Amino acid sequence: MRYLFKRMLTVMTAVAFSSPALLLAGTPAEAVVITVKDFHFEPAEITVKVGTTVRWENHEKRQYHNVYFEALGDKQSDYFFPDEVRERTFETPGTYPYICEPHHESHKMRGVVHVVE
């Protein structure tokens, strides 16, 4: 009995501590979505305001890709798979070209994010 109570307390504590994170994840963010499908970023070129989060969504059936900003020091191997996303928030105005590292030559998978005040 005492063991059971302790166990319940542990579970309740875990729920209490995990709830804020769950709430945060469920909060609708004002992200601009770029669809990744058929070896293509759509739209490939966008202009966003400073502070905007851009979200790349992989809508392929099986194919992985990545979103590689070489100038920003990204890892080349950060692949994301169907139904996964990558996000980046742009805090500084500028022009940010990126590629899908495995497919930028074979399929010309490239894009540009313009960030303005």
Residues that bind Cu ion (CB under 5 A): 65, 100, 103, 109
Of 52 and 66, which CB lies nearer to Cu ion in the complex structure?
66
Q: Rounded to the nearest whole angstrom, what is the least distance from the CB of residue 103 to Cu ion in the complex? A: 3
User: 109 near 39, Cβ under 8 Å?
Assistant: yes
Q: Considering only CA atoms, which of 83, 67, 84 is closest in space to residue 75?
A: 67
Which is it for strands 53-58 and 41-42: parallel, antiparallel or unpaired?
A: unpaired
Q: Rounded to the nearest whole angstrom, what is the least distance from the CB of residue 44 to Cu ion in the complex? A: 13
Of 103 and 110, which CB lies nearer to Cu ion in the complex structure?
103
Q: Rounded to the nearest whole angstrom, what is the least distance from the CB of residue 15 to Cu ion in the complex? A: 39
Written as six digits, the tokens of 102 are: 């495995």
Residue with tokens 């990558």: 86
Of 100 and 113, which CB lies nearer to Cu ion in the complex structure?
100
